[in-house]
Amino acid sequence: MERRMDARQLKIAAAQAALEHVSDGMRLGIGTGSTANEFVRLLAEKVHDGFRVQGVPTSEQTARLCMELGVPLFSLDELPELDLTIDGADELDGNLNLIKGGGGALLREKIVASASTRMIVIADESKVVETLGRFPLPIEVMPFGLASTRLAVERLAATLGLSGEIVQRPDRDGPYLTDGGHFILDASFGRIPDAEALANGLAAIAGVVEHGLFLHMADAAIIATAAGVRMLT
């Protein structure tokens, strides 16, 4: 119980530090996940005190929390260019390359981050790895042709010397469905020495909608540790 509270405190500390990078009037991409939720809660307190922000959520779940707490929301079509996105990550390396999508929002997260001038990642130190791949890589795929797409992913992995289980993400009553109505394959490849080659290969598979490798996208990461918060740039 006590451990869980500690983990939450770290998320709050990272979120609090991220808030210092948000200026009045900013167009802001708002991430998904438990760390991003802490950011939304703190942002909502500032909005309540008169701080102005125009938020674009990266998932229906984040949209619900923002609406509940009074954070003003816009669609990406209304605000196609954003100043900053604050989002969590499942894993990050020292070069600020990320694995995202544990919460299933990778497609919208990547679109929103791509539309932003800057992206800042918020995470606790347990997410930092030397080489990406400890966390299973989420791959968002079209339901149509699932078996062929999975086969193509397996063949690509083999050519890159990667192996490991690829499982379709389940939900309570069937397959997990993303906000876009797609499936997710979670690929437990282990260490991914050439993330660039894997990202390019996945992007070239017709049935792959998007993958959770966010390479060269983050500008900084705020890492919360028991000893305090540090910034990776």
**Residues annotated within a binding site for substrate:** 32-35, 87-90, 100-103, 127
Stretch that binds ligand 5RP, among 28-36, 39-47, 70-78, 174-182 (CB under 6 A): 28-36
Site for ligand 5RP (CB under 6 A): which residue of 87, 93, 140, 210?
A: 87
The one catalytic residue in 109, 125, 130, 165 is: 109
Identify which of residues 205 and 224 has a Cβ nearer to ligand 5RP in the complex. 224
**DSSP states of the chain:** -HHHHHHHHHHHHHHHHHHTTPPTTEEEEE--SHHHHHHHHHHHHHHHTT--EEEEESSHHHHHHHHHHT--B--TTT--SEEEEEE--SEE-TT--EE--TTS-HHHHHHHHHTEEEEEEEEEGGGB-SSS-SSPEEEEE-STTHHHHHHHHHHHHHHTT----EEEPEETTEE---TTS-EEEEE-----S-HHHHHHHHHTSTTEEEESEE-S--SEEEEEETTEEEEE-
Size, binding site for ligand 5RP by CB under 6 A? 17
Q: Is 2 a catalytic residue?
A: no
Query: Can residue 182 be called a binding residue for ligand 5RP (CB under 6 A)?
Result: no
Under rule CB under 6 A, residue 88 binds ligand 5RP: yes
Binding region for ligand 5RP (CB under 6 A): 31-35, 87-90, 100-106, 109
Active site residues: 109
